[in-house]
Amino acid sequence: MTTQEALFQYILRIGDTNLILGQRLSEWTGHGPFLEEDLALTNITLDITGAAKSFLEYAAKVEDKGRSEDDLAFLRNDRQFFNAQITELPNGDYARTIARQVLVDCFDYYFYQELSKSNDETLAGIAQKSLKEVTYHLRHTSAWLERFGDGTEESHNKVQLALNELWQYTNELFEMNEVDELLIKEGIAVDLNLVKTKWEKHISELVEKSTLTIPQNVFMQTGSRKGIHTEHLAFILAEMQALPRIYPDAKW
């Protein structure tokens, strides 16, 4: 594997994770629990989708085969996507959406901090930009986790159930393969073990503050680094890609 091939894979992974999460979250637009929260989550969605565009644009440039970011987003099949599985899972109720968002925001927060120091100037630039945005996201979703956890018995139970079911998808975020190995040597990629230590500390403090508990001895899902996904990804792609696939010349 050349550095160029590894870099393409690496950016695709980050871009896809943002793209699929943004697409999933956009389902809440117009359906939020109340107006201000609808706006807030829509704004978060917009930032995440914007980051996806920046990353995929760069991936297309690195690949250098004449594909655009739209080609990458709309003309690949499920097995060619490398987003973390947690992002493709259905939103569920608001407690579940928030629980997932806290887990991912916290990952992004520490991941972008490290990526900001990358030798790759474009990746570092996008990371610096996204870090400012994610700081707001994490603050917002953390406040919600605490409100749900320390709220009523029902909100507590719902968010605890969400954590219990989502936890099995968290280890995937930190998996590294030959792509990471090669790019860490070049000073481009982030050592995800570093991110994991910080993430675990932050999440366990936040979960405790929210009067919740982290599930123990959970079987960890894996697969997205190889393009293996849950059954939900193909459905989300079918919806997201329908228009450009039916009308390949459509412009907007």
Partner 1 sequence: MKTAEDIFTLLSEIPDPEIPVISIIELGVIRNIEIINDSTISLKITPTYSGCPAMKQIEDDVRKKLSENGFTTIDIKTIFSPPWTTDWITPAAKEKLRKYGIAPPENSTEDKSWLTGKDKNIACPRCKSLNTKLISQFGSTACKALYQCQDCQEPFDYFKCI
Least CB distance from residue 193 to partner 1, whole Å?
A: 25
Cβ proximity to partner 1: between 17 and 45 the closer is 45
The answer to whether residue 3 forms part of the interface with partner 1 (CB under 8 A) is no
Among 46, 184, 218, 228, binds partner 1 (CB under 8 A): 46
Distance CA 123, CA 115 (A): 7
When the beta carbons of 18 and 170 are compared against partner 1, the nearer one is 18
Among 19, 78, 79, which Cα is nearest to 50's? 19
Of 61, 67, 76, 129, the one binding partner 1 by CB under 8 A: 129
Q: Choose which of 125, 151, 227, 244 interacts with partner 1 (CB under 8 A).
A: 125
Cβ distance 20 to 236 under 8 Å? yes
Q: Helix or strand or coil: residue 205?
A: helix
CA distances (Å), 234 to each of 54, 88, 135, 229, in order? Answer: 23, 9, 31, 9
Q: Which residue from 128, 124, 133 is spatially nearest to 45, judged by alpha carbons?
A: 133
How many residues touch partner 1 under the rule CB under 8 A: the total is 31
CB of 166 to partner 1, least distance (A): 23
Asked if 124 touches partner 1 (CB under 8 A), the answer is: yes
Smallest separation, CB 241 to partner 1 (Å)? 20
The full DSSP string for 53-89 is HHHHHHHHHHHTSS--HHHHHHS--GGG----GGGTS
132 binds partner 1 (CB under 8 A): yes
List the one residue out of 10, 86, 8, 27 whose CA is nearest residue 240: 27
> Which residue from 139, 185, 201, 245 is in contact with partner 1, where contact means CB under 8 A?
139
Residues that bind partner 1 (CB under 8 A): 36-37, 39-51, 53-54, 121-122, 124-126, 128-130, 132-133, 135-136, 139-140
